[in-house]
Amino acid sequence: MIIGGGPGGYEAALVAAQLGAEVTVVDCDGLGGASVLTDCVPSKTLIATAEVMTTFDSSYEELGIIVADDTPPMEQAARVVGVDLGKVNRRVKRLALAQSHDITASVTRAGARVMRGRGRLEGMQALDGSRKVVVRAADGSEETLTADAVLIATGGHPRELPDARPDGERILNWTQVYDLDELPEELIVVGSGVTGAEFAGAYQALGSRVTLVSSRDRVLPGEDPDAAAVLEDVFRRRGMNVMSRSRAQSAKRVGDRVEVTLADGRVITGSHCLVAVGAIPNTEGMGLEEAGVKLKDSGHIRTDRVSRTSAPGVYAAGDVTGVFALASVAAMQGRIAMYHFLGDAVTPLNLKTVSSNVFTDPEIATVGYSQADVDAGKIDARVVKLPLLRNPRAKMQGIRDGFVKIFCRPGTEIVVGGVVVAPRASELIHPISLAVDNNLTVEQIANAFTVYPSLSGSIAEVARQLHTRKAGAEG
């Protein structure tokens, strides 16, 4: 039995069904969960449109591209690129629903049963090791099912500030922005983590005047500091008002405007406000603690590296566990849970091999140990960072911002981490991820051929510099 249809749930269902188990997936919104319906897929679809705008806006003059309206003379022509947000958002929602339907079709084809409703655990484990799950349908009817094992993959929902409750019109959370028909003229984004930074960059690219309110001393406080510095510089250069060390206390509507009051008493105004201050796990009202499932103070479910909870026969995967809030990690947790329960070969989750990406422009991709780990002495590593400005392909494309950084062990030269800041860094991080996952050395990366010219050439160049520095030290 799987409660929740996000990446952890539907990937677990596919694995279990393929291994011959009888599978039921209980979900109230549609398979794919928040990741597909209100979070990852919609936001990255919106960002894809913004990316086109940003790429054009930042490069067209340098590359010699002329954009003109129909009014001569050409020398007086103005740029006429704009966006129809209503059309963009209709496409966003259409693609999200289509993806959810595709997932449902895949799961049912594999032989799993899909039920619409909300599931909760009932009581303790039975003497035969089974668990009872009560499924409540939208009409209020309930059905009790018995399962040999239960996977909880119910995800999370946007955290709200007590004095900044979303109304879905002017004060919004990240699930509500896709109902907008017109581009916000002046958007205040509260929260400078991944979600806040992604939306701030996207709406700025689409044409909004954006103010980003950050309670910390920089944007993306959880990311590589060099990468965050590059992004903040880009934001400011493109006209974004980045307010560091400015904690939002409240937000309220005043007519067709929004007033955001900061903790120090300052008040900023805009046409809209997006509150992006984290997520809360969907664990309330599920009977978890009564069933012996231990929760963290944050409400997240405690799990081990094979997705087991403290209750026998109960597993958990995805954002509800508070591990990495990534669809890829949720999916892996779900697969691992099923492999473990069904007695198949299983490799425990290793977070140091997880690659992640911030879909801003430029993107920020990371894998393995971080600069913070090195600075804190958690690992002894050598580091080389190479700006993309030196890369011939970057020069051809008018790319000014970004770098490649690789961490390797001093003695063995094994690659233990990396950071890429670049357009489509999400694609460029993969060779470093392979190196981290397979304990490759910088020499092995340096000796592999890369296409010339290419952005990936910078990865090989950083590896060469790390290797030659060691050779130079030994000589």
Give the tens place of pLDDT for each residue, 360-381. 999 999 999 999 999 999 999 9
Report yes or no: 257 and 269 within 8 Å, Cβ to Cβ: yes
Q: What is the pLDDT of residues 21-53, one digit of tens each?
A: 999 999 998 999 999 999 999 999 999 999 888
Residue 221 has pLDDT above 80, yes or no: yes
- Rounded Cα–Cα distance for residues 424 and 421 (Å): 9
- Rounded Cα–Cα distance for residues 464 and 414 (Å): 13
* Residues with Cβ within 8 Å of residue 471, at least 6 apart in sequence: none
- Kindly state the DSSP code that residue 414 receives in the 8-state scheme: B
CB atoms within 10 A of CB 264: 9
More confident residue, 46 or 54: 46
Annotated binding site for NAD(+): 191-198, 278
First-to-final CA distance of the chain: 61
Per-residue model confidence (pLDDT) at position 68? 60
* Residues with Cβ within 8 Å of residue 317, at least 6 apart in sequence: 8, 9, 12, 151, 152, 153, 303, 307, 330, 333, 334, 336, 337
- Kindly state the DSSP code that residue 308 receives in the 8-state scheme: B
- Rounded Cα–Cα distance for residues 425 and 366 (Å): 9
- For the domain made up of 362-468, the CATH class stated in words is alpha beta
Cα-Cα-Cα-Cα torsion 460, 463, 468, 473, nearest 10 degrees, comes to 170
Report yes or no: 171 and 259 within 8 Å, Cβ to Cβ: no
Compute the residue count for the chain.
475
β 355-358/363-368 pair status: antiparallel
Annotated binding site: 44, 119, 191-198, 278, 319
In 51-180 the beta strands, taken as DSSP E runs, fall at 113-116, 118-122, 131-136, 142-147, 150-152, 156-158, 171-172
* Average pLDDT in the chain: 93
CB atoms within 10 A of CB 271: 17
Annotated binding site for FAD: 44, 119, 319
Residue labelled with tokens 């005043």? 254
- Rounded Cα–Cα distance for residues 378 and 393 (Å): 35
Report yes or no: 455 and 434 within 8 Å, Cβ to Cβ: no
Domain with CATH 3.30.390.30 in the chain: 362-468
Per-residue model confidence (pLDDT) at position 471? 54
Residue 222 phi/psi, 5° resolution? -90, 0
Cα-Cα-Cα-Cα torsion 30, 35, 41, 44, nearest 10 degrees, comes to 160
Residue 124 has pLDDT above 60, yes or no: yes
For 447-452, the CB contacts below 8 A with 24+ separation are 452/392
Among 446, 374, 382, 433, residue whose Cα is nearest residue 409: 382
Confidence category of residue 58, pLDDT binned at 50, 70, 90: low
Per-residue model confidence (pLDDT) at position 70? 47
Confidence category of residue 63, pLDDT binned at 50, 70, 90: confident
Q: How many CA atoms lie within 13 A of 346 on its CB side?
A: 20
Q: Name beta bridge partners: 131.
A: 147
Confidence category of residue 449, pLDDT binned at 50, 70, 90: very high
Q: Is 448 exposed, middle or buried (0-12, 13-18, 19+ CB in 10 A)?
A: middle
Residue 78 has pLDDT above 70, yes or no: no
CATH of domain 171-277: 3.50.50.60
CATH of domain 2-68+77-157+281-350: 3.50.50.60
Question: What DSSP assignment string belongs to 123-159?
Answer: SS--TTS-EEEEEE-TTS-EEEEEES-EEE---EEE-
Domain with CATH 3.50.50.60 in the chain: 2-68+77-157+281-350, 171-277
Q: Is 282 helix (H, G, I), strand (E, B) or coil?
A: coil
Among 441, 280, 417, 446, residue whose Cα is nearest residue 356: 417
- Kindly state the DSSP code that residue 352 receives in the 8-state scheme: G
- Rounded Cα–Cα distance for residues 126 and 142 (Å): 20
Residue 135 phi/psi, 5° resolution? -110, 120
Residue labelled with tokens 């405690």? 302
Residue labelled with tokens 């930074």? 197
Cα distances (angstroms) measured from residue 24 to each of 1, 13, 76, 111, 190: 5, 8, 64, 9, 39
Q: What is the pLDDT of residues 304-356, one digit of tens each?
A: 999 999 999 999 999 999 999 999 999 999 999 999 999 999 999 999 999 99
Say which range, 142-151, 158-167, 463-472, has the weakest mean pLDDT: 463-472
CB atoms within 10 A of CB 142: 11
